[in-house]
Amino acid sequence: MKPVLNYINGAFHPALSGQTLETVNPATGEVITTVARSNADDVAAATAAANEAATSWGATTMEERIAWLERIADALEAEAETIAQLESLDTGKPIALARKVDAARSVANFRFFATYAKEQPEVTFADHGAVNHVHRSPVGVVGLITPWNLPLYLLSWKVAPALLMGNTIVAKPSELTPLTADFLAKSLDRLDFPPGVFNLVHGYGPEVGQAIVEHPIIRAISFTGGTATGKIVAATAAPMFKKLSLELGGKNATVILDDAPLDDIMDGLVRASFTNSGQVCLCGSRVLVDSKIHDVFITKFVNAVEALQVGDPSLEATQMGTVISKDHQAKVESYIRLGLEEGGTLLTGGTSETAPVTGVSQEGAFLRPTVIGGLDAACQTATEEIFGPVVTVHAFSSEDEAVTMANATEYGLAGSVWTADVERGHAFAKRMETGIVWVNTWLNREKGGRGR
Ligand code: TXE
């Protein structure tokens, strides 16, 4: 594959320093290609281009920008299979998942914001005899920084609304997964998208991401990634009074009430736990189950988890591929060992040594889906984000106790409740101190999606 270059002012360039880094296939450990290893100088060039383009792009009409979003969606949709293949190669996620989630959602993000804009009424309201008009104006140059778990999905989620509102962009994808961001740049280039409106700078977080956050001309930052990095981003951006959006980690609870129809919901529970090898910030990594059904739940859950097809991400039948890298595998394995040290029982799975995935490259970052029981809900394994295919299971003896356990975390991103009684589920959901709670479903955001 050709080297991945920066996209600045409508042209592809190597890093100004000439340096490169490598992107690796996590299923084989093989280098896929080299990537521009940029620094503050490249960010300065991209920002200057974005700033130059800001006036003309900001002056386009909403209708023109909607038309661009639709054109981009059409172009990506026509290449959905390529996007899925690139994403699967770069992340180690199963090709079927990359098609269904990453490629489809990246297209849908552009369509969603185009439709959203069409549906926005003009807002005016009278107040004390005066008429107030609400205008939506561009911020200017915005910095978009994204992680490796859902590369184009999360990048497009930021790019589409930023473009729609007339902003120009300096974006940085994760250094671990640059391929689909590069594909987006190439797609825009083929469409003759106006130069300078979308700029892409590749490289490491402290060298490129930090330079984006620090650049005085960049007025807003949208960041998705680790909580520790989010803290650095916030500490840098806040004193500069930048607009800031942060989406960070999660340690989400999946709560199973005593009336839950286990056979019907097992598929959803496995999905909530192990989609993308558990590397979705919304995955449920703490399963809280009523003690009355705990034992039967464990039997059914372990059976369902063991039925997951773990293996080569490029095979159609694979349901779980690798984690993102060997380094991340080592981090996840350290939590599996910690869970056992803290008194947990391994119900299925384990480290690559104790529970190897067979028939795959030994250089691949493969792990079996792992379930640990018998842990105190307050222990380190049960409260820190692992971001891998590991869930802990905890029994509760009353709904009050379940609420306390669900809320005993410093995170508050998402959760789910499973019950035969939807009203009961809603009542429980209201008591969870978390941003999103799904009842009898998980990651259900699409109209007409699955769930009940
Ligand atoms: O994230 P990082 P990583 C969590 C998960 C995971 C952990 C670390 O717990 O184990 O984060 O993942 C860029 N200034 N999530 O190491 O380092 C970096 O180059 C500006 C949750 O990948 O936070 C990348 O582009 N940017 C998450 C992006 O930030 C910096 C999904 C995220 O990298 C920077 C992924 C800096 N100083 C991981 N340092 C979710 N909520 O979806 C790094 N970056």
CA 223 / ligand 1 centre spacing (Å) = 9
* CA proximity to 313, closest of 351, 360, 271: 360
pLDDT at 284: 97
What number does the ligand 1 atom closest to the CA of 176 have? 22
pTM of the model: 0.96
Q: What is the rounded distance in angstroms from the CA atom of residue 194 to the CA atom of residue 185?
A: 12
The predicted pLDDT at position 451 comes to 32
Of 175, 247, 333, 385, the catalytic one is: 247
Q: Name the token pair of 336.
A: 């599996």
Ligand 1 centroid, distance to 148 Cα (angstroms): 8
Run of H or E residues at 35 = strand 31-36
Candidate list 87, 175, 281, 333, residue with the active-site label:
281
Ligand 1 center from residue 224 Cα (angstroms):
7
Res 452 pLDDT > 70 = no
Average pLDDT over residues 61-66: 97
pLDDT of residue 444: 84
Q: Is 122 annotated in the active site?
A: no
Calculate how far, in angstroms, residue 229's C-alpha sits from the geometric centre of ligand 1.
Answer: 6
Contacts of 451 (CB under 8 A, 6+ apart): 268, 438, 440, 441, 442, 444
Across 75-215, where does the E strand assignment appear?
123-127, 130-134, 141-145, 168-172, 198-200
Residues 6+ apart with CB under 8 A from 299: none
Q: Which atom of ligand 1 is nearest to the CA of 204?
A: 19
User: Considering only CA atoms, which residue is closest to atom 11 of ligand 1?
Assistant: 226
Q: Specify the ligand 1 atom closest to the Cα of 212.
A: 20
Rounded to 10 degrees, the C-alpha dihedral 224/227/228/231 comes to 80
CA distance 146 to 181: 10
- Give strand pairing partners of 8: 11
Q: How far is the CA of 180 from the centre of ligand 1 (A)?
A: 17
Instruction: Find the 10 Cα to ligand 1 centroid distance in Å.
Output: 27
Average pLDDT over residues 50-61: 98
- Confirm if 293 and 258 have CB atoms less than 8 A apart: yes
pLDDT, mean of residues 387-398: 98
283 included as an active-site residue? no
- How much is the pLDDT for 448? 36
Give the pLDDT mean for 378-384. 95
The sheet with strand 218-224 has its strands ordered as 11-13, 6-8, 198-200, 168-172, 141-145, 218-224, 243-247
Tens digits of residue pLDDT in 326-363: 999 999 999 999 999 999 999 999 999 999 999 999 99
Reported as a single tens digit per residue, the pLDDT across 253-287 is 999 999 999 999 999 999 999 999 999 999 999 99
pLDDT at position 446, please? Answer: 59
Query: How far is Cα 199 from Cα 8, in angstroms, rounded to an integer?
Result: 5
Closest protein CA for atom 6 of ligand 1: 226
Residue among 5, 25, 24 at smallest CA distance from 15: 5
Q: What is the pLDDT of residue 385?
A: 96
Q: Which of 23, 37, 42, 174 to mutate to test the pocket of ligand 1 (most atoms within 8 A of CB)?
A: 174
d(CA 101, CA 321): 15
Contact of 86 with 179, CB cutoff 8 Å = yes
- Is 80 exceeded by the pLDDT of residue 166? yes
Residue 450: pLDDT over 70: no
Instruction: Name residue, tokens 């003009």.
Output: 122
Cβ < 6 A, ligand 1 pocket: 145-149, 172, 174-175, 204-206, 209-210, 213, 224-226, 229, 232-233, 247-249, 281, 385, 387
Atom of ligand 1 nearest to the CA of 413: 41
